[in-house]
Copies of this chain bind each other. A is one copy, B any other.
Amino acid sequence: MDMSKFPITDKTEITRLPKRGVYDKEAVFQILDEALFCTLAYVREGQPFQIPTGFVRIEDKIYIHGSVGSFYMRELRDKKQSVCVSVTLMDGLVLARSAFHHSVNYRSVVIFGEPQLVESKDELYDALEAFTEKMCRGRWNDVRKPTENEWKTTMLLSIEIKEASAKVRTGPPKDDEEDYSMDVWAGVVPLKIEHRAPIPDPDLKTGVKIPEYLVKR
């Protein structure tokens, strides 16, 4: 068994356009690390629900966090059910010569796993630091660290990434052979999430300068 790949299971097998399927762990982890949020789907009384939420990956687990008062966090903690987590990065609009072959370049990951309450303080601290650093590298050292009470009101759930697959499309459009002679422009419009110039809090204390890690972006 190749340990660098996720096993292909009934749930994770890419049946539609299987050539786009990716089971390589490093490739899956890279997509997860680039994504700003995931959507988590779970079932309540037969009805699917979805929660868009921030997350962070550390080794072979992803972590989500929320308030201990959050209804869905408590539900996820208590139900011990397999959930589905997905992330999608949109890389480009693929403009073909025919309407039919229009597509998008994307990288998506789907994970199946069971949320577990994290009870270890060390794991909680590490994950919360990783959340902050994922949002903005260098930030953790700058900010006020959580108080005892803030830690207590934060619930952290981990999901071990046992079953996962990615689906990836890259490159130019694929048109029907006979359409390549058409006088229609075809190609890709790349999409990129841009970080714009930071907007200071209107209540920013006078004299506080913008940190280096924000200027360099």
**A contacts, CB < 8 Å to B:** 11, 15-16, 36-37, 39, 41-43, 46-50, 52, 54, 66-67, 69-72, 82-86, 88, 90, 93, 95-100, 102, 104, 106, 108, 110, 112, 128-129, 131-132, 135-136, 139-140, 142-147, 150, 154, 172-173, 179-205, 207-211, 214, 217
**Is there an interface contact between B214 and A200, defined as CB atoms closer than 8 Å?**
no
**Smallest Cβ-Cβ distance to A39: which chain B residue:** B39
Contact A106–B50 (Cβ < 8 Å): no
CA of A92 to CA of B191, assembled, Å: 17
Residue in B71, B99, B104 whose beta carbon sits within 8 Å of that of A15 in the complex: B71
Partner of A54, one of B50, B72, B104, B205: B104
The answer to whether A144 touches B187 (Cβ under 8 A) is: no
Nearest first, the 5 A-B pairs at minimum CB distance are A41-B41, A41-B48, A190-B196, A52-B88, A98-B144
- Taken together, the copies of this chain in the complex come to 2
The residues of B that contact A183 with a CB separation of less than 8 Å are: 205, 207-208
Given A50-B110, A187-B204, A193-B194: A90 and B37 interface contact (C-beta under 8 Å) = yes
Q: Cβ of B144 and Cβ of A36 under 8 Å apart?
A: no
- Selected A-B contacts with CB under 8 Å, 12 pairs: A37-B106, A39-B88, A48-B82, A50-B110, A98-B145, A98-B146, A99-B143, A100-B147, A183-B207, A185-B200, A191-B194, A193-B194
